[in-house]
């Protein structure tokens, strides 16, 4: 392999890597996920759950037995009213 052939080969490799970088950049821009809009019910439920969760937890911060499930149901009931 001569020096000229070697230099041509390096130039082709550089061009190929530049093209690959450009295509990856295009793919990254088009694959971005759109954030979902939080519903008003979800916002109300979140606030209700925060208010009520302390009654279903122990002093150490652990959930009481069946506490999480009961807290969820209670929060849903609060939002429903």
Please work out, in degrees rounded to the nearest 5, the angle formed at the alpha carbon of residue 38 by the alpha carbons of 33 and 41. Answer: 150
In the prediction, which pLDDT does 53 show?
Answer: 94
In the prediction, which pLDDT does 30 show?
Answer: 62
CA distances, 19 to each of 53, 73, 75 (Å): 54, 55, 54
Specify the pTM. Answer: 0.56
Q: What residues of the chain score a pLDDT lower than 70? A: 25-31
In the prediction, which pLDDT does 20 show?
Answer: 75
In the prediction, which pLDDT does 27 show?
Answer: 61
Could you report how far apart the first and last alpha carbons of the chain are, in Å? 82
């Amino acid at each position: 392999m001569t020096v000229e052939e070697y230099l041509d080969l390096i130039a082709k490799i550089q061009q190929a890597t530049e093209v690959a970088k450009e295509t990856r950049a295009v793919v990254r821009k088009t694959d971005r996920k759109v954030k979902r809009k939080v519903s008003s019910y979800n916002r109300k439920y979140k606030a209700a759950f925060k208010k009520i969760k302390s009654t279903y937890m122990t002093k150490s911060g652990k959930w009481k037995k069946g506490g999480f499930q009961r807290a969820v149901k209670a929060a849903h009931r609060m939002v429903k009213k």
